[in-house]
Structure 1
């Protein structure tokens, strides 16, 4: 009887220890954790249906689902700035963003002042995001200065396009007050140009952009050029821009149009473990042949580590290290 009294507390202690281990023995969460629960579902936030993020996001979501068995859905959103806030609030795991917006978010600058997005890291950069100032031949708009007094869409609320528009106007000694600003998605912008309710629109997206292609089917499209001296001034003031062009033949253009670009990138929540992000990164870069969009041809693991601007998630970095890929 005495022996039983001794054994009971001992067994109880072992049982309690096992219970505590089970409750607290999850994994390293956050940036760099190499354990962690594998989620059953992930949200990949993209942009509007008329842009490049959404069709690419759909392809990536399908690739990730097939390769990792984690059900991943591409979701329509207001694009870069909204996506960074969605990651911060824990409402998505993967997101598209412009490199400039991701940098602002991580550092708590510009529209993120006082509200830095600290729980985000990069998978990598994807392709140039061309700033296209879209109008029609009938508008009479031939230069950025001609936008003065016109009804001009600068993108959906929460998108990165608005800041691009503001900075381009700035190097032309203009402000948003010099235009009749409209806050429209790409689809709404091209519809507005078509029905005459707006005169022009800033579109920051990989070209060709679906919404603009649709407009070019019925309208004589003009992409407003940015002159070389203004391109140089913009890059000097904001080094995340690069020189770019909309090629001849795009939207039935008869010659290439000089402009600038930022880069598109994929970011992830730091709540995802190293193993999960490694699997996601590997899945995307080893299945690019399944991406039908034209921009898929510009995406590569070799270029993904260049111009990122924020920390790369350890899971993605593990993949690049295995491939011997380093930033140039």
Structure 2
């Protein structure tokens, strides 16, 4: 009798368990969220997200810090900020699985995607995916009032800081010189980060430096405290050449008053973009994108340049496809055309 009763109870429990499983699956499919988001949150707890940025004196680093803080506080994700040599290194970190998010310049991303420029001879990294376009970087050719340099052509024969090798700054330096019919053969190039180059301008060892960043840039402000800093314009036929041959460039102006400039300074600009690892799932990237843009004011407060990050420009100048998770979020909030 006991054996028979135990058998009935066991069968009843198996039946109840089976019904419970079916009901759970059906509920998740029909609701399309709710419990699924809760389980996804548990998976997010297991993530470690490295945010690849740039030098600690640049703009990428504080913005990356704000991103990392939001992921930790809002989603419980363990995250760290990594100082790097910026764009090209960041792309390689994403590609090699050593970073999950990376701030890069659109020109470097396009070259990696196509296997051109700094990535010439390499297999195109066509699995790169974007989370969002961020803010424009301004190409700033920085010198001092007493240098005698008034134009890009005046850099001929001068010692010029062109950025760390294969950095986004260095790629820009080559393109801008090309637009003026020049190359490294015409200058004494010095492969210094822009922070190092600005220090060498102070010491009289470098005549000018390429600084590609948001504005204002802290190193340029620092130079202006001891010297009269000056930014050389990029305009006219050279600017037209850049837009025609490198469509990630756009003609912009550095507004009067950003430094000690009384007037707007015409120059070239390139969008900065946030890349995300294609190894992350759609749900993971959706939650991360939502958290960042739900707390956008925290990112905008990390640096003056970040105030240009808005939902209106998340696709502007993005040279690679958006990750499906980011695309899903932006479609939900009406940010995509």
Relative to the length of structure 2, the TM-score reads 0.84
Q: Is the contact between residue 193 and residue 199 of structure 1 (CA under 8 Å) also seen in structure 2?
A: yes
2:25 counterpart residue number: none
The structure 2 residue matched to 1:253, chosen from 249, 261, 285, is: 261
Distance 2:185 2:87 in 1: 23
2:72 counterpart residue number: 65
Distance 1:37 1:88 in 2: 22
1:19-168 → structure 2 map (5 Å cutoff): 38=44, 39-113=46-120, 114-168=122-176
Distance 2:124 2:99 in 1: 17
Matched, 1:239 2:247: yes
Matched, 1:204 2:212: yes
Q: SS at the partner of 1:117?
A: coil
Distance 2:179 2:99 in 1: 35
Q: SS at the partner of 1:266?
A: strand
Runs ≥4 residues deviating over 4 A: 34-37
TM-fit CA distance, 1:236: 1.1
Distance 1:234 1:118 in 2: 24
Unaligned 5+ runs, structure 2: 1-36
2:310 counterpart residue number: 300
Q: SS at the partner of 1:87?
A: helix
TM-fit CA distance, 1:37: 5.0
1:7 counterpart residue number: none
2:178 counterpart residue number: 170
Q: Is the contact between residue 138 and residue 212 of structure 2 (CA under 8 Å) also seen in structure 1?
A: yes
Distance 1:108 1:171 in 2: 22
Q: Is the contact between residue 118 and residue 171 of structure 2 (CA under 8 Å) also seen in structure 1?
A: no
Distance 2:48 2:329 in 1: 22
Aligned CA RMSD, in angstroms, stands at 1.6
TM-fit CA distance, 1:79: 0.5
- Number of equivalences: 294
2:236 counterpart residue number: 228
Q: Is the contact between residue 49 and residue 187 of structure 1 (CA under 8 Å) also seen in structure 2?
A: no
The structure 1 residue matched to 2:226, chosen from 218, 227, 230, is: 218
Distance 1:188 1:47 in 2: 14
1:264 counterpart residue number: 272
The structure having more radius of gyration, on CA atoms, is: 2
2:334 counterpart residue number: 324
Distance 1:82 1:129 in 2: 18
Note the alpha carbon deviations across 1:18-56, whole angstroms, 9 max, x for none. xxxxxxxxxxxxxxxx98953431110101122211111
1:275-290 → structure 2 map (5 Å cutoff): 275-290=283-298
Q: SS at the partner of 2:55?
A: coil
Q: Is the contact between residue 99 and residue 265 of structure 1 (CA under 8 Å) also seen in structure 2?
A: yes
Q: Is the contact between residue 122 and residue 310 of structure 1 (CA under 8 Å) also seen in structure 2?
A: yes
Distance 1:191 1:217 in 2: 12
Unaligned 5+ runs, structure 1: 1-33
Q: Is the contact between residue 51 and residue 64 of structure 2 (CA under 8 Å) also seen in structure 1?
A: yes
Note the alpha carbon deviations across 1:243-274, whole angstroms, 9 max, x for none. 11111112211221110101001001111111
TM-fit CA distance, 1:288: 1.7
Distance 1:285 1:313 in 2: 15
Q: Is the contact between residue 157 and residue 187 of structure 2 (CA under 8 Å) also seen in structure 1?
A: yes
Note the alpha carbon deviations across 1:284-326, whole angstroms, 9 max, x for none. 1121211321122211122101221101000100101111222
Farther off after superposition, 244-253 or 130-139: 244-253
